[in-house]
């Protein structure tokens, strides 16, 4: 089974890389689909589920997920329910076969499935440029505002990961492959990554 997880810095192109890699491998890619599935099941707004899905809610986290123990009366909290559902869904998707899963600490949740874990990063200039090129017209953020947004989102992702492991988010020791997209078009990297993935899983 080929399961690839993508962790990424905001603006690094990790989402696009995951989608293109999945297309090249002929396997499904799960990213926003996870949010949509949870929102539909729980009858919640997608933007709310997305807001919760990579947040550090450690004080509300049940001992069955992550490595922290909380008081039982917190387990019914809606945020916790979303996190529990997300973990269950990621595990369910992995059992269905080959796939690429972007974000949400899938690398740690699916450790027993022995996934190939990729971390995508880039220099600040590349990330700002990429964000400005792809930003919604209604956002209209300045480069300085984008940098602050990137730092805030990456800080949240690091805190979220800390619920599962003491390994530092983005540290090379926590991943099998780190991909620097600085100054590169994501599309140009896919053929090499596809060959690497097939080699990793022993696919001829």
Q: How far apart are CA 100 and CA 86, in angstroms?
A: 15
HSE-up (13 A, CA, CB side) for residue 197: 29
Q: What total number of domains does the chain contain?
A: 1
pTM score? 0.85
CATH number for 125:
3.40.50.300
Residue 137: the pLDDT is: 65
Tell me how crowded residue 73 is: count the other CB atoms within 10 A of its CB: 7
Residue 54 belongs to some domain of the structure: yes
Closest to 59 in 3D by CA, of 38, 77, 42: 77
Residue 122 belongs to some domain of the structure: yes
Q: What is the DSSP letter of 135?
A: S
Residue 46: the pLDDT is: 84
DSSP-based three-state secondary structure for 141: coil
Range of the domain at 11: 3-192
Residue 51: the pLDDT is: 72
Q: 132-145: buried (b, 16+ CB within 10 Å) or exposed (e) per residue?
A: eeeeeeeeeeeeee
How do residues 67-115 score in pLDDT, each as one tens digit?
443 344 444 477 778 888 889 999 999 999 999 999 999 999 999 999 9
Residue 197 belongs to some domain of the structure: no
**Which are the contacts of 21, defined by CB distance < 8 A and separation ≥ 6?**
4, 6, 29, 100, 190, 193, 194, 197
Structure tokens at 24: 């090249």
Residue 19 belongs to some domain of the structure: yes
Q: Higher confidence at residue 63 or residue 20?
A: 20
Residue 198 belongs to some domain of the structure: no
Residue 203 belongs to some domain of the structure: no
Closest to 88 in 3D by CA, of 20, 29, 42: 42
Beta bridge partners of 120: 8, 179
Beta bridge partners of 6: 102, 118
Residue 84 belongs to some domain of the structure: yes
Residue 70 belongs to some domain of the structure: yes
Q: How far apart are CA 139 and CA 142, in angstroms?
A: 9
């Amino acid at each position: 089974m080929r399961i690839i997880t993508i962790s990424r810095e905001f603006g690094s192109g990790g989402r696009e890389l995951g989608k293109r890699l999945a297309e090249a491998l002929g396997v499904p890619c799960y990213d926003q689909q996870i949010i949509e599935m949870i929102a539909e099941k729980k009858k919640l707004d997608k933007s709310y589920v997305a807001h919760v899905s990579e947040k550090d809610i450690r004080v509300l986290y049940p001992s069955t997920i992550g490595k922290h123990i909380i008081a039982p009366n917190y387990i019914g909290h809606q945020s916790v329910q979303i996190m529990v559902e997300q973990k269950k869904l990621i595990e369910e998707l992995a059992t269905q076969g080959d796939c690429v899963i972007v974000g949400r600490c899938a690398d740690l949740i699916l450790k027993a499935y022995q996934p190939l874990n990729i971390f995508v990063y880039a220099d600040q200039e590349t990330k700002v440029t990429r964000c400005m090129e792809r930003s919604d017209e209604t956002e209209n953020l300045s480069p300085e505002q984008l940098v602050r947004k990137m730092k805030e989102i990456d800080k949240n992702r690091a805190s979220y990961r800390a619920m599962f492991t003491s390994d530092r988010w983005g540290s090379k020791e926590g991943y099998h492959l780190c991909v620097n997209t600085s100054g590169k078009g994501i599309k140009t990297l896919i053929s090499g990554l596809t060959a690497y993935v097939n080699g990793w899983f022993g696919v001829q």
